[in-house]
Structure 1
């Protein structure tokens, strides 16, 4: 369970506000998504995102994300 730095949280929040694509690495898989919103539920933060090609909704708990990168 990684702990993101304040700069990483800022980058993630900015990606949500600007609808900038991010790549998420979780449990050995990589997901390229467009973040839609962040939400805190039951003490855990969740990222709601959309797959850019299919439009499928995807949800990620931040404490399960190994790393992420803002790519566009």
Structure 2
């Protein structure tokens, strides 16, 4: 299973909520500054933080449904 990468912005409440949800489930994530990857993230169509990448799937914004799906996928491997 590939690692979970979360691109965040400073003082971003949706970013913090996303990180907390993964942390509460025991999923270790790699947190990167979105400002260092703006070109890549915009090219992928992401205009808001956080941006979460879980291998082939990626999304932006606080998405508890997709976070839970990613957590469950890791539990089943």
- Provide TM-score, normalisation by structure 1: 0.30
Looking at both structures, which has the greater relative contact order when contacts are Cα pairs under 8 Å and sequence separation is at least 6?
Answer: 2
Please identify which structure carries the higher helix content. 2
TM-score (norm 2): 0.28
